[in-house]
Protein backbone atom coordinates (compact mmCIF):
# COMPACT_ATOMS: atom_id res chain seq x y z
CA UNK A 1 0.00 0.00 0.00
CA UNK A 2 1.31 3.46 -0.93
CA UNK A 3 1.74 5.25 2.39
CA UNK A 4 2.50 8.63 0.79
CA UNK A 5 -0.95 9.00 -0.69
CA UNK A 6 -4.25 8.95 1.14
CA UNK A 7 -6.46 6.07 0.04
CA UNK A 8 -9.55 7.46 -1.70
CA UNK A 9 -12.65 5.68 -0.47
CA UNK A 10 -16.19 5.44 -1.86
CA UNK A 11 -18.80 4.26 0.66
CA UNK A 12 -22.00 2.80 -0.78
CA UNK A 13 -24.61 3.03 1.98
CA UNK A 14 -22.75 5.54 4.14
CA UNK A 15 -25.71 6.21 6.48
CA UNK A 16 -26.16 2.55 7.49
CA UNK A 17 -24.43 0.70 10.31
CA UNK A 18 -21.31 -0.34 8.31
CA UNK A 19 -21.17 2.99 6.48
CA UNK A 20 -21.16 5.10 9.65
CA UNK A 21 -18.54 2.84 11.24
CA UNK A 22 -16.38 3.13 8.10
CA UNK A 23 -16.48 6.90 8.55
CA UNK A 24 -15.33 6.41 12.17
CA UNK A 25 -12.36 4.43 10.84
CA UNK A 26 -11.55 7.31 8.45
CA UNK A 27 -11.68 9.69 11.42
CA UNK A 28 -9.32 7.38 13.31
CA UNK A 29 -6.74 7.67 10.49
CA UNK A 30 -7.32 10.91 8.51
CA UNK A 31 -3.68 10.82 7.44
CA UNK A 32 -4.30 7.52 5.58
CA UNK A 33 -7.88 7.66 4.30
CA UNK A 34 -10.00 10.24 2.51
CA UNK A 35 -13.68 10.00 1.60
CA UNK A 36 -14.13 10.53 -2.14
CA UNK A 37 -17.82 9.64 -2.48
CA UNK A 38 -20.74 8.69 -0.22
CA UNK A 39 -24.16 7.35 -1.17
CA UNK A 40 -27.44 6.69 0.64
CA UNK A 41 -30.86 5.47 -0.42
CA UNK A 42 -33.31 7.66 1.49
CA UNK A 43 -31.65 9.09 4.61
CA UNK A 44 -30.98 12.52 3.18
CA UNK A 45 -30.53 14.38 6.50
CA UNK A 46 -27.79 12.00 7.66
CA UNK A 47 -26.16 12.16 4.21
CA UNK A 48 -26.11 15.98 4.35
CA UNK A 49 -24.50 15.90 7.81
CA UNK A 50 -21.84 13.41 6.60
CA UNK A 51 -21.13 15.47 3.48
CA UNK A 52 -20.65 18.64 5.53
CA UNK A 53 -18.32 16.84 7.93
CA UNK A 54 -16.16 14.87 5.46
CA UNK A 55 -16.33 17.12 2.34
CA UNK A 56 -16.30 14.32 -0.24
CA UNK A 57 -15.90 15.02 -3.94
CA UNK A 58 -19.35 13.59 -4.68
CA UNK A 59 -22.59 12.64 -2.92
CA UNK A 60 -25.40 10.47 -4.34
CA UNK A 61 -28.93 9.98 -3.00
CA UNK A 62 -30.75 6.96 -4.42
CA UNK A 63 -34.21 8.46 -3.90
CA UNK A 64 -34.53 11.05 -6.66
CA UNK A 65 -37.33 12.90 -4.85
CA UNK A 66 -34.74 14.04 -2.28
CA UNK A 67 -32.28 15.45 -4.85
CA UNK A 68 -33.34 19.11 -4.56
CA UNK A 69 -33.15 19.01 -0.75
CA UNK A 70 -29.64 17.51 -0.91
CA UNK A 71 -28.44 19.93 -3.61
CA UNK A 72 -29.76 22.95 -1.75
CA UNK A 73 -28.27 21.88 1.60
CA UNK A 74 -24.80 21.50 0.04
CA UNK A 75 -24.98 24.49 -2.34
CA UNK A 76 -22.30 26.41 -0.40
CA UNK A 77 -19.78 23.55 -0.72
CA UNK A 78 -17.79 22.37 -3.79
CA UNK A 79 -19.45 18.92 -3.71
CA UNK A 80 -20.95 17.29 -6.80
CA UNK A 81 -24.50 16.11 -6.06
CA UNK A 82 -26.26 13.31 -7.97
CA UNK A 83 -29.41 11.20 -7.59
CA UNK A 84 -30.75 7.82 -8.68
CA UNK A 85 -29.56 4.22 -8.79
CA UNK A 86 -27.72 4.72 -12.11
CA UNK A 87 -25.68 7.51 -10.54
CA UNK A 88 -24.61 5.13 -7.75
CA UNK A 89 -23.50 2.64 -10.41
CA UNK A 90 -21.55 5.39 -12.21
CA UNK A 91 -19.88 7.11 -9.25
CA UNK A 92 -17.93 3.96 -8.29
CA UNK A 93 -16.13 4.16 -11.63
CA UNK A 94 -14.55 7.56 -10.83
CA UNK A 95 -10.81 7.65 -11.55
CA UNK A 96 -9.39 8.69 -8.16
CA UNK A 97 -11.23 6.00 -6.13
CA UNK A 98 -8.91 3.31 -4.73
CA UNK A 99 -11.39 1.18 -2.78
CA UNK A 100 -15.18 0.86 -2.70
CA UNK A 101 -16.89 -0.14 0.55
CA UNK A 102 -20.09 -1.91 -0.55
CA UNK A 103 -22.39 -1.47 2.43
CA UNK A 104 -25.72 -1.18 0.61
CA UNK A 105 -28.36 -3.58 1.91
CA UNK A 106 -29.57 -6.50 -0.18
CA UNK A 107 -29.74 -7.20 -3.93
CA UNK A 108 -29.40 -3.49 -4.78
CA UNK A 109 -25.66 -3.73 -3.99
CA UNK A 110 -24.99 -6.16 -6.85
CA UNK A 111 -24.79 -3.86 -9.89
CA UNK A 112 -22.71 -1.08 -8.26
CA UNK A 113 -20.25 -3.76 -7.08
CA UNK A 114 -20.01 -5.15 -10.62
CA UNK A 115 -19.40 -1.66 -12.05
CA UNK A 116 -16.68 -0.98 -9.44
CA UNK A 117 -14.92 -4.27 -10.28
CA UNK A 118 -15.06 -3.51 -14.00
CA UNK A 119 -13.46 -0.13 -13.24
CA UNK A 120 -10.61 -1.94 -11.44
CA UNK A 121 -11.47 -0.76 -7.91
CA UNK A 122 -10.58 -2.82 -4.85
CA UNK A 123 -13.74 -3.99 -3.07
CA UNK A 124 -14.25 -3.96 0.71
CA UNK A 125 -17.27 -6.24 0.70
CA UNK A 126 -19.88 -5.72 3.38
CA UNK A 127 -22.86 -6.49 1.13
CA UNK A 128 -22.96 -10.29 1.48
CA UNK A 129 -25.95 -10.59 -0.87
CA UNK A 130 -23.64 -9.75 -3.80
CA UNK A 131 -21.75 -13.05 -3.41
CA UNK A 132 -24.83 -14.96 -2.26
CA UNK A 133 -26.74 -14.04 -5.41
CA UNK A 134 -23.96 -14.03 -8.02
CA UNK A 135 -20.77 -15.42 -6.46
CA UNK A 136 -19.57 -17.19 -9.60
CA UNK A 137 -20.07 -14.11 -11.77
CA UNK A 138 -18.36 -11.79 -9.23
CA UNK A 139 -15.36 -14.12 -8.91
CA UNK A 140 -14.94 -14.34 -12.69
CA UNK A 141 -15.04 -10.53 -12.99
CA UNK A 142 -12.62 -10.04 -10.08
CA UNK A 143 -10.10 -12.41 -11.69
CA UNK A 144 -10.54 -10.81 -15.13
CA UNK A 145 -10.04 -7.27 -13.83
CA UNK A 146 -7.39 -8.27 -11.24
CA UNK A 147 -9.43 -6.77 -8.40
CA UNK A 148 -9.03 -7.84 -4.75
CA UNK A 149 -12.21 -8.58 -2.79
CA UNK A 150 -11.51 -7.88 0.88
CA UNK A 151 -14.12 -9.24 3.31
CA UNK A 152 -15.66 -6.86 5.87
CA UNK A 153 -17.99 -9.36 7.57
CA UNK A 154 -16.38 -10.17 10.93
CA UNK A 155 -16.48 -13.93 10.23
CA UNK A 156 -14.93 -13.74 6.77
CA UNK A 157 -12.40 -11.17 7.90
CA UNK A 158 -11.43 -13.61 10.67
CA UNK A 159 -10.89 -16.42 8.14
CA UNK A 160 -8.98 -14.03 5.86
CA UNK A 161 -6.71 -13.14 8.80
CA UNK A 162 -6.24 -16.81 9.77
CA UNK A 163 -5.17 -17.60 6.20
CA UNK A 164 -2.46 -14.89 6.11
CA UNK A 165 0.85 -16.62 5.39
CA UNK A 166 -0.89 -19.97 4.70
CA UNK A 167 -1.20 -19.61 0.91
CA UNK A 168 0.20 -23.03 0.04
CA UNK A 169 -1.25 -24.97 2.94
CA UNK A 170 -4.29 -27.18 2.48
CA UNK A 171 -7.48 -26.12 4.24
CA UNK A 172 -9.48 -28.97 5.76
CA UNK A 173 -12.42 -26.84 6.82
CA UNK A 174 -13.57 -23.33 7.63
CA UNK A 175 -15.43 -22.94 10.94
CA UNK A 176 -17.84 -20.02 10.99
CA UNK A 177 -19.00 -18.97 14.46
CA UNK A 178 -22.57 -17.82 15.11
CA UNK A 179 -23.81 -16.08 18.24
CA UNK A 180 -27.08 -18.02 17.99
CA UNK A 181 -28.99 -14.73 18.19
CA UNK A 182 -31.59 -13.80 20.81
CA UNK A 183 -33.68 -17.00 20.40
CA UNK A 184 -30.97 -19.65 20.79
CA UNK A 185 -32.71 -21.35 23.75
CA UNK A 186 -36.31 -20.93 22.55
CA UNK A 187 -38.68 -23.79 21.80
CA UNK A 188 -40.47 -24.13 18.47
CA UNK A 189 -43.69 -22.90 20.10
CA UNK A 190 -41.98 -19.84 21.61
CA UNK A 191 -40.54 -18.94 18.21
CA UNK A 192 -44.06 -18.83 16.73
CA UNK A 193 -44.87 -15.85 18.97
CA UNK A 194 -41.72 -13.71 18.94
CA UNK A 195 -42.11 -10.03 18.09
CA UNK A 196 -39.95 -7.85 15.89
CA UNK A 197 -38.91 -5.88 19.01
CA UNK A 198 -37.49 -9.09 20.50
CA UNK A 199 -35.84 -10.07 17.21
CA UNK A 200 -34.17 -6.66 16.88
CA UNK A 201 -32.37 -7.06 20.23
CA UNK A 202 -29.13 -8.81 19.28
CA UNK A 203 -27.20 -10.00 22.36
CA UNK A 204 -23.73 -8.97 21.11
CA UNK A 205 -23.65 -6.91 17.92
CA UNK A 206 -25.07 -3.52 16.93
CA UNK A 207 -26.27 -3.83 13.31
CA UNK A 208 -28.96 -2.58 10.93
CA UNK A 209 -32.53 -3.94 11.16
CA UNK A 210 -32.35 -6.30 8.16
CA UNK A 211 -29.12 -8.05 9.19
CA UNK A 212 -30.31 -8.23 12.84
CA UNK A 213 -33.45 -10.13 11.79
CA UNK A 214 -31.34 -12.36 9.50
CA UNK A 215 -29.09 -13.07 12.47
CA UNK A 216 -32.09 -14.00 14.67
CA UNK A 217 -33.39 -16.42 11.99
CA UNK A 218 -29.84 -17.69 11.22
CA UNK A 219 -30.33 -16.78 7.55
CA UNK A 220 -27.39 -14.42 8.00
CA UNK A 221 -25.18 -17.40 8.88
CA UNK A 222 -26.56 -19.29 5.88
CA UNK A 223 -25.61 -16.40 3.62
CA UNK A 224 -22.14 -16.35 5.20
CA UNK A 225 -21.70 -20.04 4.34
CA UNK A 226 -22.47 -19.25 0.67
CA UNK A 227 -20.23 -16.19 0.77
CA UNK A 228 -17.36 -18.23 2.27
CA UNK A 229 -17.48 -20.69 -0.62
CA UNK A 230 -16.87 -17.90 -3.15
CA UNK A 231 -14.37 -15.91 -1.07
CA UNK A 232 -12.15 -18.86 -0.16
CA UNK A 233 -12.79 -21.43 -2.89
CA UNK A 234 -13.97 -24.26 -0.64
CA UNK A 235 -16.79 -26.81 -1.00
CA UNK A 236 -20.02 -26.62 1.03
CA UNK A 237 -19.03 -29.70 3.06
CA UNK A 238 -15.78 -27.94 4.06
CA UNK A 239 -17.70 -25.16 5.84
CA UNK A 240 -18.94 -25.82 9.36
CA UNK A 241 -21.08 -23.55 11.53
CA UNK A 242 -20.75 -23.62 15.33
CA UNK A 243 -22.78 -21.59 17.79
CA UNK A 244 -20.50 -19.54 20.03
CA UNK A 245 -22.70 -17.25 22.17
CA UNK A 246 -19.87 -15.07 23.50
CA UNK A 247 -18.87 -13.78 20.00
CA UNK A 248 -15.19 -13.61 21.00
CA UNK A 249 -13.83 -16.08 18.43
CA UNK A 250 -14.98 -14.62 15.12
CA UNK A 251 -14.15 -17.71 13.04
CA UNK A 252 -11.52 -20.43 12.60
CA UNK A 253 -9.62 -22.39 9.98
CA UNK A 254 -8.69 -26.05 10.35
CA UNK A 255 -5.72 -27.17 8.24
CA UNK A 256 -4.76 -30.57 6.79
CA UNK A 257 -2.57 -31.38 9.80
CA UNK A 258 -5.51 -30.89 12.18
CA UNK A 259 -4.27 -27.56 13.58
CA UNK A 260 -6.94 -24.89 14.08
CA UNK A 261 -6.24 -21.15 13.87
CA UNK A 262 -8.77 -18.76 15.40
CA UNK A 263 -9.12 -14.97 15.28
CA UNK A 264 -10.36 -13.35 18.49
CA UNK A 265 -11.48 -9.82 19.19
CA UNK A 266 -14.16 -7.60 20.70
CA UNK A 267 -17.49 -7.58 18.80
CA UNK A 268 -16.63 -4.29 17.04
CA UNK A 269 -17.18 -4.02 13.27
CA UNK A 270 -14.63 -1.21 12.99
CA UNK A 271 -11.82 -3.76 13.36
CA UNK A 272 -12.62 -5.80 10.20
CA UNK A 273 -13.48 -2.57 8.34
CA UNK A 274 -10.09 -1.07 9.17
CA UNK A 275 -8.26 -4.30 8.27
CA UNK A 276 -9.97 -4.32 4.83
CA UNK A 277 -9.11 -0.66 4.20
CA UNK A 278 -5.48 -0.90 5.34
CA UNK A 279 -4.64 -4.46 4.17
CA UNK A 280 -1.97 -5.84 4.30
CA UNK A 281 -1.04 -3.45 7.10
CA UNK A 282 -2.49 -3.33 10.61
CA UNK A 283 -2.98 0.23 11.81
CA UNK A 284 -3.06 1.24 15.49
CA UNK A 285 -6.53 1.99 16.87
CA UNK A 286 -8.15 3.48 19.95
CA UNK A 287 -10.90 0.82 19.84
CA UNK A 288 -11.61 -1.46 22.80
CA UNK A 289 -9.33 -4.35 23.68
CA UNK A 290 -10.14 -7.95 24.59
CA UNK A 291 -9.50 -8.69 28.28
CA UNK A 292 -8.99 -12.46 28.42
CA UNK A 293 -8.78 -12.42 32.22
CA UNK A 294 -12.38 -11.29 32.59
CA UNK A 295 -13.89 -13.38 29.78
CA UNK A 296 -14.79 -16.46 31.79
CA UNK A 297 -15.68 -19.45 29.62
CA UNK A 298 -16.02 -19.74 25.87
CA UNK A 299 -18.66 -22.26 24.79
CA UNK A 300 -19.55 -23.97 21.52
CA UNK A 301 -22.55 -26.01 20.35
CA UNK A 302 -24.01 -27.31 17.12
CA UNK A 303 -26.74 -25.21 15.46
CA UNK A 304 -30.32 -26.54 15.63
CA UNK A 305 -31.37 -26.91 11.99
CA UNK A 306 -34.91 -27.93 12.95
CA UNK A 307 -35.44 -24.79 15.00
CA UNK A 308 -33.60 -22.58 12.47
CA UNK A 309 -34.19 -24.20 9.06
CA UNK A 310 -32.92 -21.14 7.14
CA UNK A 311 -29.36 -22.32 7.69
CA UNK A 312 -30.29 -25.69 6.20
CA UNK A 313 -31.96 -24.01 3.20
CA UNK A 314 -28.78 -22.01 2.55
CA UNK A 315 -26.69 -25.21 2.46
CA UNK A 316 -29.27 -26.79 0.11
CA UNK A 317 -29.24 -23.72 -2.17
CA UNK A 318 -25.44 -23.79 -2.24
CA UNK A 319 -25.46 -27.50 -3.16
CA UNK A 320 -27.94 -26.83 -5.99
CA UNK A 321 -26.03 -23.79 -7.22
CA UNK A 322 -27.27 -21.86 -10.26
CA UNK A 323 -29.88 -19.26 -9.36
CA UNK A 324 -31.06 -21.02 -6.18
CA UNK A 325 -29.06 -18.78 -3.78
CA UNK A 326 -30.60 -15.82 -5.63
CA UNK A 327 -34.05 -17.35 -4.98
CA UNK A 328 -33.55 -17.64 -1.21
CA UNK A 329 -32.07 -14.14 -1.04
CA UNK A 330 -35.04 -12.54 -2.84
CA UNK A 331 -37.58 -14.53 -0.79
CA UNK A 332 -35.79 -13.63 2.42
CA UNK A 333 -35.67 -9.89 1.62
CA UNK A 334 -39.43 -9.83 1.04
CA UNK A 335 -40.08 -11.90 4.18
CA UNK A 336 -37.90 -9.74 6.45
CA UNK A 337 -39.59 -6.56 5.18
CA UNK A 338 -43.01 -8.13 5.83
CA UNK A 339 -41.96 -9.28 9.32
CA UNK A 340 -40.65 -5.81 10.18
CA UNK A 341 -43.99 -4.40 8.97
CA UNK A 342 -45.88 -6.84 11.28
CA UNK A 343 -47.47 -8.58 8.29
CA UNK A 344 -46.13 -12.09 8.98
CA UNK A 345 -44.81 -13.99 11.99
CA UNK A 346 -41.18 -14.95 12.64
CA UNK A 347 -41.44 -18.65 11.71
CA UNK A 348 -43.56 -17.86 8.65
CA UNK A 349 -40.45 -16.37 7.02
CA UNK A 350 -38.81 -19.83 6.85
CA UNK A 351 -41.97 -21.47 5.52
CA UNK A 352 -42.25 -18.92 2.69
CA UNK A 353 -38.55 -19.26 1.80
CA UNK A 354 -38.92 -23.05 1.53
CA UNK A 355 -42.03 -22.62 -0.63
CA UNK A 356 -40.14 -20.20 -2.91
CA UNK A 357 -37.33 -22.74 -3.36
CA UNK A 358 -39.88 -25.38 -4.37
CA UNK A 359 -41.74 -23.03 -6.75
CA UNK A 360 -38.81 -21.26 -8.43
CA UNK A 361 -37.78 -21.61 -12.06
CA UNK A 362 -34.37 -23.22 -11.53
CA UNK A 363 -31.48 -22.22 -13.82
CA UNK A 364 -28.14 -24.00 -13.54
CA UNK A 365 -26.02 -21.49 -15.52
CA UNK A 366 -27.57 -18.06 -14.94
CA UNK A 367 -26.41 -14.83 -16.58
CA UNK A 368 -26.65 -11.41 -14.89
CA UNK A 369 -30.00 -10.94 -16.69
CA UNK A 370 -31.20 -14.29 -15.28
CA UNK A 371 -30.31 -13.16 -11.75
CA UNK A 372 -32.21 -9.89 -12.21
CA UNK A 373 -35.20 -11.78 -13.64
CA UNK A 374 -35.14 -14.42 -10.86
CA UNK A 375 -34.94 -11.72 -8.21
CA UNK A 376 -37.96 -9.85 -9.64
CA UNK A 377 -40.05 -13.02 -10.13
CA UNK A 378 -39.44 -14.37 -6.61
CA UNK A 379 -40.20 -11.01 -5.01
CA UNK A 380 -43.48 -10.84 -6.89
CA UNK A 381 -44.35 -14.47 -6.06
CA UNK A 382 -43.59 -14.25 -2.33
CA UNK A 383 -45.34 -10.85 -2.04
CA UNK A 384 -48.48 -12.39 -3.56
CA UNK A 385 -48.44 -15.17 -0.91
CA UNK A 386 -48.17 -12.61 1.89
pLDDT tens profile 313-343: 999 999 999 999 999 999 999 999 999 999 9
> How far, in Å, are 20, 282, 363 from residue 100 at the CA level?
14, 19, 30
Measured CA angle at 111 (ends 108, 115), to 5 deg: 145
Bond from prior residue into 280 cis (ω within 30 degrees of 0): yes
When pLDDT is cut at 50, 70 and 90, the band that residue 303 belongs to is very high
Distance from C-alpha of 266 to C-alpha of 250, rounded to nearest angstrom? 9
Distance from C-alpha of 219 to C-alpha of 44, rounded to nearest angstrom? 30
Q: Where are the domains of the chain?
A: 7-151, 156-267+299-320
H-assigned helices in the chain: 17-28, 44-54, 67-73, 85-91, 110-118, 129-144, 154-162, 188-192, 196-199, 209-217, 219-232, 270-278, 309-320, 324-340, 346-359, 368-385
* Lowest mean per-residue pLDDT among 20-24, 42-46, 207-211: 207-211
| Cα radius of gyration rounded to whole Å, the chain | 20
The predicted pLDDT at position 2 comes to 46
Average pLDDT in the 287-310 region? 94
Distance from C-alpha of 129 to C-alpha of 125, rounded to nearest angstrom? 10
> How far, in Å, are 118, 223, 276, 313, 350 from residue 219 at the CA level?
30, 6, 24, 9, 9
The predicted pLDDT at position 1 comes to 44
3-state secondary structure of 43: coil
When pLDDT is cut at 50, 70 and 90, the band that residue 205 belongs to is low
Predicted confidence (pLDDT) at residue 106 exceeds the cutoff of 90 = no
The predicted pLDDT at position 26 comes to 98
The predicted pLDDT at position 277 comes to 97
When pLDDT is cut at 50, 70 and 90, the band that residue 4 belongs to is low
Q: How many residues does the chain have?
A: 386
The predicted pLDDT at position 244 comes to 96
Distance from C-alpha of 93 to C-alpha of 115, rounded to nearest angstrom? 7
Q: Are 178 and 158 in contact (CB under 8 A)?
A: no
Give the number of other CB atoms < 10 A from CB of residue 279: 18
3-state secondary structure of 196: helix
**What's the CATH class of domain 7-151?**
alpha beta
Residue 144, classified by CB atoms within 10 Å of its CB into exposed (0-12), middle (13-18) or buried (19+), is: exposed
Distance from C-alpha of 140 to C-alpha of 136, rounded to nearest angstrom? 6
Which phi-psi region, left, alpha or beta, contains residue 311 (left: φ > 0; alpha: ψ -120 to 50)? alpha
Query: Which of 374, 363, 352, 322 lies closest to 135, judged by CA?
Result: 322
Give every CB contact of residue 105 below 8 A, 6+ residues apart in sequence.
13, 16, 127, 129, 208, 210, 211
pLDDT tens profile 242-278: 999 999 999 999 999 999 999 999 989 999 999 999 9
Against a cut of 0.85, is the pTM above it? yes
What DSSP designation does 173 have? E
- Diameter of the chain measured on Cα atoms: 62
Give the number of other CB atoms < 10 A from CB of residue 385: 16
Distance from C-alpha of 87 to C-alpha of 94, rounded to nearest angstrom? 11
pLDDT tens profile 50-103: 999 999 999 999 999 999 999 999 999 999 999 999 999 999 999 999 999 999
When pLDDT is cut at 50, 70 and 90, the band that residue 201 belongs to is confident
pLDDT tens profile 111-144: 999 999 999 999 999 988 899 999 999 999 999 9
The predicted pLDDT at position 261 comes to 98
How do the residues of the chain divide into helix, strand and coil, expressed in percent and rounded to 5? 50, 15, 35
Predicted confidence (pLDDT) at residue 3 exceeds the cutoff of 70 = no
Amino acid sequence: MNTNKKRQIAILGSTGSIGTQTLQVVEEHPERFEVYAITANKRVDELIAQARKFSPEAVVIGDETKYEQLKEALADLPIKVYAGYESICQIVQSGPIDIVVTAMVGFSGLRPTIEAIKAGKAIALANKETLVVAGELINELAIKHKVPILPVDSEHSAIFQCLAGETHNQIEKLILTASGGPFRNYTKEQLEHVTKEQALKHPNWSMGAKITIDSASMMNKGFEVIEAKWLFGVKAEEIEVVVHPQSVIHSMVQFADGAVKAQLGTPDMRLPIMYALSYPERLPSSFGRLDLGTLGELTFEKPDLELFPNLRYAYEALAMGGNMPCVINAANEVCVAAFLADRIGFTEMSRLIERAMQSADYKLKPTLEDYIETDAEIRKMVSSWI
